[in-house]
Structure 1
Amino acid sequence: MKTIKQLGIYLDHAAANLIDFSGSDKEPKSIISEFDIQDKHETLQRSENEMHHKEQDKQRAYFKKIAAIAADFNQLLLFGPTTAKTELLHFLQKDNSFGKIKIDAENTDKLTCDQQQIFVGEHFKKFDFKNS
């Protein structure tokens, strides 16, 4: 029987917490976006257009880092309080290597690390009967 590897990704535009729900007790891994408020202020002083391009480039790099890890999983849960989860979903859907990966996206309030782990556990436990 094929092992189901499940990953929860709690994210906003600044950082992502990757929570492996594949039965191991690994600590969540964090990925930080390189586009910060300092970048925004510096590039805005030059031009808004330049700031927009720099932000898009850094966001694409941020999403690529997340995708590189997520590609090893069968099921993904994208969740969080901002539109970043939807943007990541669209980014992943454009990548053919994610065609066979089940991806769910859910809105949540801002959650602590413990709340994130509970949320991921409850989400994937709903689908346990499908995995047996």
Structure 2
Amino acid sequence: MKTPKRLSIWMDHSVAHLMEISNQPFEIKTIDSNFTNEVKLESIKHGENSMHNKEQQLMLTFYKKLVKIIKNYDEILLFGPTNAKNELHNLIEKDHQIASTTKIKIKETDKMTQKEQEAFIKNHFENLNANYNVLFDK
């Protein structure tokens, strides 16, 4: 049985920290959303409706970048303090190819330091492995 490729993503609406789970130390890739405060202030000058449209457009671009990466993994842990992880999950669910082959777990967390994120991820996947081993007597 092959070892699943696992990825964890701590995210909010402004940034996503991607950490691949392997035997190596965590390597963190950061993807920033382009919906910054500067963009927000500039677009609100054209009206609230314009700002909302700009936000939706930029967030969709942000989520699509993440979906491209996610499709290369078997198991995904999405966690963070905002509903951005749920919005990303909803987009993933619309892609039936990814949704049918990828296990996704969503966890609500507070803002975390890098060390807290790493500890949270290790704990999550250690518990997952322990449950797997019990199920299959390994």
TM-score band, normalised by the shorter chain? Answer: over 0.9
Runs of 4+ aligned residues of structure 1 deviating over 6 Å after TM superposition are none
Q: Deviations over 1:40-85 (max 9, x none)?
A: 1111111111111111111011011111111111110100111111
Equivalent residue, structure 2, for 1:93:
93
Indicate if the aligned counterparts of 1:18 and 1:30 stay in contact, CA closer than 8 A: yes
Does residue 71 (structure 1) correspond to residue 71 (structure 2)? The answer is: yes
2: CA distance between counterparts of 1:97 and 1:24?
29
User: Mind listing any 5+ residue stretches in structure 2 that lack a counterpart?
Assistant: none
CA RMSD of aligned residues (A): 1.3
Sequence identity of aligned pairs in percent?
Answer: 39
Does residue 19 (structure 1) correspond to residue 19 (structure 2)? The answer is: yes
Pairs within 5 Å for 1:107-126: 107-126=108-127
2: CA distance between counterparts of 1:3 and 1:113?
25
Does residue 102 (structure 1) correspond to residue 103 (structure 2)? The answer is: yes
Structure scoring higher RCO (CA < 8 A, sep ≥ 6) equals 1
Aligned residues: 132
User: Mind listing any 5+ residue stretches in structure 1 that lack a counterpart?
Assistant: none
- TM-score for both structures, normalised by structure 1: 0.93
